[in-house]
């Protein structure tokens, strides 16, 4: 059962309908007990940071959210949900947020007036592997947690506990997903989704993680190249709306519905 | 980078998508949900539905239709027609619409924009406006006057001033539906679209006049529109969204190509 957290931050209908469409059981709830009992949790949200934090406090949802994240429950943040997991947002004159991810949330400040605010529409997400460029070129020097991929075939470095390939022609794995032979995914939630795919965004503020390893996807808009996808362990959060992003978005939700939270 | 949006418009009358020629000789084109799915699968970026008889029949928008569409498509869609109160907005959004569009209502009661924006968020509130070319520059500096009630009534409002005022009130997006271009398939009203789009900081959607793919290229380049509404050119089957997008790509307009 997926719990969709309802903290009066916008319309949850499309999230629920998207999950129902792909045949995934879900319930919209603000009951801490239901959230703690869920197999997976979705933390959506549309609106403003201050109001969101106020509601979360009043509904006493901060502790359940911190608990599900710290104990390893697969957790998907969407839009405002992705923003309030950071430490602080510039919105509403400055709003302290939950603090599950290090960094802040900033407002777009375009120099070109043709860049309207909010960003409203489809924009590309370039995959990142914990902040590192996603390898398009198999002979490039791949990095895993900052460690060089195997130049020395005699060493057995490890990548997330998996042995790195002695034979560079082998298909190394990262987080259980094939590394760039088919360039499909660096993260289980991107499985079957092409790097550079467009998703639907509506936002005036964007996440700015202070630790680059949290960046799982980047997008460019209004002079900013920002982290549009955040990830660490069982935490995964998108600035875009997967439930409004057509087939590709449904694929991400489907991947989430099967995810065990490991990465 | 952010891509431009192609938005099919479906006018719905008695649960059927209709093509009206200046409100006469309405032809049924099909089921709104089926057409929505086809266009969504065909690569459109958003959809907009207008319940065109709601106001005349003095009833709120057909919520059942909104619900059926929301279950079937998973791209954003806006709804308009029969949105008279905050409660109408609430029910439409709760039924699954991403945005609600107000037109005549906003002119009669501009405060509704601010209220709707406050309660639901600016991004949910779209202003539709139907401007007509007019020759009185002293009264209408932009050269266009806002009309309401399906182009039948003139308001005395200058189109550009109204757009800016709506932005100040908190509207999230403006749809400019040119009275002069509507139904002509002769191209969008580029001058006014550009004027408004370069004067406001929020997204602007061009509407009215799309006939051939070149018109879309023009409205995104010369017209500076962020999005464009199309209707007859795809309802007739003359063009597909894929064809339109292929031409836009050729012309160097940023457009979504995978769906």
Distance in angstroms (rounded) separating the CA atoms of residues B33 and B73: 8
Radius of gyration of the CA atoms of chain B, in A: 17
Which pairing describes strands B77-80 and A95-96: parallel, antiparallel, or unpaired? unpaired
Kindly report, residue by residue over B212-221, the tens digit of the pLDDT: 999 999 999 9
Chain B residues with beta carbon closer than 8 angstroms to that of A20: 71
Helices marked H in chain B: 32-41, 63-72, 86-94, 104-108, 111-120, 159-169, 190-197, 213-221, 232-235, 241-250
Q: What is the pLDDT of residue A145?
A: 43
Mean pLDDT throughout B31-47? 97
Q: Are residues A119 and A224 in the same domain?
A: yes
In this predicted structure, the answer to whether residue B25 has a pLDDT above a threshold of 80 is: no
Cα–Cα distances in angstroms (integers) from residue B168 to residues B99, B111, B172, B201, in the given order: 18, 11, 10, 10
Chain B residues with beta carbon closer than 8 angstroms to that of A249: 74
**Look-up of token digits 């907005």:** B89
Distance in angstroms (rounded) separating the CA atoms of residues B131 and B111: 20
Q: Are residues A85 and A164 in the same domain?
A: no
Q: Are residues A95 and A204 in the same domain?
A: yes
Mean pLDDT throughout B61-85? 95
Q: Pick B3's closest partner by Cβ from A113, A117, A121.
A: A121
pLDDT band, residue B60 (cuts 50/70/90): confident
pLDDT band, residue B24 (cuts 50/70/90): low
Which pairing describes strands A158-159 and A162-163: parallel, antiparallel, or unpaired? antiparallel
Residues of A annotated as catalytic are 79, 241, 243
Give counts: helices (H), strands (E), chain A: 6, 21
Contact A248 B93 (CB under 8 A): no
**Look-up of token digits 């539709």:** B128
pLDDT band, residue A150 (cuts 50/70/90): very low
Contact B94 A13 (CB under 8 A): yes
Distance in angstroms (rounded) separating the CA atoms of residues B63 and B91: 7
pLDDT band, residue B16 (cuts 50/70/90): very high
Q: What is the pTM of this model?
A: 0.90
Q: What is the pLDDT of residue B70?
A: 97
Mean pLDDT throughout A196-202? 96
In this predicted structure, the answer to whether residue A14 has a pLDDT above a threshold of 50 is: yes
In this predicted structure, the answer to whether residue B57 has a pLDDT above a threshold of 90 is: no
Structural domain includes residue A159: yes
Distance in angstroms (rounded) separating the CA atoms of residues A48 and A46: 7
Chain Cα centroid distance, residue B93: 17
Dihedral sign for Cα B107, B112, B116, B122, please: positive
Q: What is the pLDDT of residue A219?
A: 97
Q: Are residues A52 and A100 in the same domain?
A: yes
**Look-up of token digits 């002293």:** B138
pLDDT band, residue A185 (cuts 50/70/90): low
pLDDT band, residue B102 (cuts 50/70/90): very high
Q: Determine the distance in angstroms separating the CA of B190 from the nearest CA of chain A, rounded to an integer.
A: 16
In this predicted structure, the answer to whether residue B95 has a pLDDT above a threshold of 80 is: yes
- For the beta carbon of residue B71, count every other beta carbon within 10 angstroms: 16
Q: Does residue B11 carry a catalytic annotation?
A: yes
- The ipTM (two decimal places) reads 0.95
By C-alpha distance, the chain B residue nearest A118 is B202
First to last CA, chain B: 17
Structural domain includes residue A137: no
Structural domain includes residue A134: no
The tally of domains found in chain A comes to: 2
Distance in angstroms (rounded) separating the CA atoms of residues A194 and B67: 31
Q: Which CATH architecture has domain B5-250?
A: Alpha-Beta Barrel (3.20)
Mean pLDDT throughout A203-211? 96
* Token digits of residue A52: 């969101």
Distance in angstroms (rounded) separating the CA atoms of residues A94 and A87: 11
- Considering only the C-alpha atoms of chain A, give the largest distance between any 2 of them, rounded to a whole number of Å: 57
Mean pLDDT throughout B52-80? 92
Host domain of residue A148: 142-171
Residue B259 touches partner A, C-beta closer than 8 Å: yes
Interface A-B: count of C-beta contacts within 8 A: 98
Distance in angstroms (rounded) separating the CA atoms of residues A158 and B51: 60
B148, B104 Cβ separation under 8 angstroms: yes
How many CA atoms within 13 Å lie on the side-chain side of A157?
A: 18
DSSP of B122-163, one letter per residue? GGGEEEEEEEEE-S-TTT-TTSEEEEETTTTEEEEEEHHHHH
Distance in angstroms (rounded) separating the CA atoms of residues B131 and B178: 5
Residue A20 touches partner B, C-beta closer than 8 Å: yes
Chain Cα centroid distance, residue B59: 21
Residue A89 touches partner B, C-beta closer than 8 Å: no
Q: Are residues A114 and A156 in the same domain?
A: no
Q: What is the pLDDT of residue B20?
A: 63
Mean pLDDT throughout B107-115? 95
Q: Are residues A16 and A97 in the same domain?
A: yes
Q: What is the pLDDT of residue B21?
A: 57
Structural domain includes residue A6: yes
- From B45, B62, B130, B182, active-site residue: B130
Q: What is the pLDDT of residue B54?
A: 87
- Considering only the C-alpha atoms of chain B, give the largest distance between any 2 of them, rounded to a whole number of Å: 49
Q: Are residues A209 and A158 in the same domain?
A: no
Structural domain includes residue A176: no
Distance in angstroms (rounded) separating the CA atoms of residues A228 and A208: 9
Residue A228 touches partner B, C-beta closer than 8 Å: no
Q: What is the pLDDT of residue A136?
A: 44
Kindly report, residue by residue over A109-123, the tens digit of the pLDDT: 999 999 999 999 999
Structural domain includes residue A151: yes
Q: What is the pLDDT of residue A1?
A: 93
Contact A250 B70 (CB under 8 A): no
Q: What is the pLDDT of residue B200?
A: 98
Q: What is the pLDDT of residue A132?
A: 72
Dihedral sign for Cα B53, B59, B60, B62, please: negative
Indicate the helix (H) or strand (E) that contains A16: helix A13-21
In this predicted structure, the answer to whether residue A151 has a pLDDT above a threshold of 80 is: no
Q: Determine the distance in angstroms separating the CA of A48 from the nearest CA of chain B, rounded to an integer.
A: 8
Average pLDDT, chain A: 85
Please state which of the ranges A87-96, A157-166, A236-245 shows the lowest mean pLDDT. A157-166
Average pLDDT, chain B: 94
Distance in angstroms (rounded) separating the CA atoms of residues A129 and A142: 10
For A84, phi then psi, to 5°, come to -75, -5
Q: What percent of chain B has pLDDT over 90?
A: 86
Q: Determine the distance in angstroms separating the CA of A9 from the nearest CA of chain B, rounded to an integer.
A: 9
B127, B173 Cβ separation under 8 angstroms: yes
CATH of the domain at A54: 3.40.50.880
- From B11, B62, B158, B182, active-site residue: B11
Length of chain B: 259
**Residue predicted with more confidence, B160 or B26:** B160
DSSP of A158-200, one letter per residue? EETTEEPPSSTTS--EETTEE-TTS---SSGGGTT--TT-EEE
Structural domain includes residue A30: yes
Distance in angstroms (rounded) separating the CA atoms of residues B97 and B77: 6
Kindly report, residue by residue over B115-173, the tens digit of the pLDDT: 999 999 999 999 999 999 999 999 999 999 999 977 889 999 999 999 999 999 999 99
């Amino acid at each position: 059962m997926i719990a969709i957290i309802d903290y009066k931050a916008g319309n949850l209908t499309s999230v629920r309908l998207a999950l129902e469409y792909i045949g995934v059981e879900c319930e919209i709830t603000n009951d801490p007990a239901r959230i703690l009992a869920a197999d997976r949790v979705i933390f959506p949200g549309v609106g403003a940071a201050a109001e969101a934090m106020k509601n979360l406090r009043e509904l006493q949802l901060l502790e359940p959210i911190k608990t599900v994240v710290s104990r390893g429950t697969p957790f998907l943040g969407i839009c405002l949900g992705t923003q309030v997991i950071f430490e602080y947002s510039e919105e509403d004159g400055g709003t302290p947020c939950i603090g599950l991810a290090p960094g802040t949330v900033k407002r777009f400040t375009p120099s070109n007036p043709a860049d309207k605010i909010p960003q409203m529409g489809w924009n590309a997400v370039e995959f990142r592997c914990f902040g590192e460029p996603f390898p398009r070129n198999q002979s490039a020097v791949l990095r895993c947690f900052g460690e060089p991929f195997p130049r020395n075939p005699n060493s057995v470095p490890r990548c997330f506990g998996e042995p790195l390939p002695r034979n560079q022609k082998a298909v190394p794995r990262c987080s259980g997903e094939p590394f760039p032979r088919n360039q499909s995914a660096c993260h289980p939630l991107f499985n079957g989704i092409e790097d550079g795919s467009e998703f639907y965004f509506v936002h005036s503020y964007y996440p700015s993680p202070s630790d680059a390893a949290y960046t799982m996807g980047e997008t460019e808009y209004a002079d900013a190249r920002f982290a549009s996808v955040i990830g660490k362990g069982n935490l995964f959060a998108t600035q875009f709306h997967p439930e409004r992003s057509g087939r590709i978005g449904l694929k991400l939700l489907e991947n989430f519905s099967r995810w065990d939270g490991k990465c | 980078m952010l891509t431009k949006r192609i938005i099919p418009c479906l006018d719905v009358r008695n649960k059927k998508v209709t093509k009206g020629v200046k409100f006469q000789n309405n032809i049924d084109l099909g089921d709104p949900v089926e057409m929505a799915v086809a266009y969504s699968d065909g690569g459109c970026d958003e959809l907009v539905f207008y319940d065109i008889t709601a106001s005349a029949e003095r009833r709120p928008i057909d919520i059942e239709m909104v619900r059926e569409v929301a279950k079937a498509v998973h791209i954003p869609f806006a709804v308009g027609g029969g949105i008279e109160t905050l409660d109408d907005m609430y029910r439409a959004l709760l039924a699954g619409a991403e945005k609600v569009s107000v037109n005549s209502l906003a002119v009669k009661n501009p405060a509704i924009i601010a209220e709707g924006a406050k309660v639901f968020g600016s991004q949910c509130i779209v202003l539709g406006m139907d401007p007509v070319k007019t020759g009185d520059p002293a009264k209408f500096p932009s050269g266009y006057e806002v009309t309401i009630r399906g182009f039948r009534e003139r308001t005395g409002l200058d189109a550009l001033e109204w757009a800016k005022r709506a932005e100040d009130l908190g509207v999230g997006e403006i749809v400019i539906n040119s009275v002069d271009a509507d139904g002509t398939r002769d191209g969008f009203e580029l001058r006014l679209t550009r004027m408004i789009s370069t004067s406001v900081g929020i997204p602007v959607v061009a509407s009215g006049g799309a006939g051939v793919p070149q018109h879309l290229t023009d409205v995104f380049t010369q017209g500076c529109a962020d999005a464009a509404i199309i209707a007859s050119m795809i309802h007739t089957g003359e063009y597909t969204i894929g064809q339109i997008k292929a031409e836009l790509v050729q012309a160097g307009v940023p457009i979504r190509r995978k769906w």
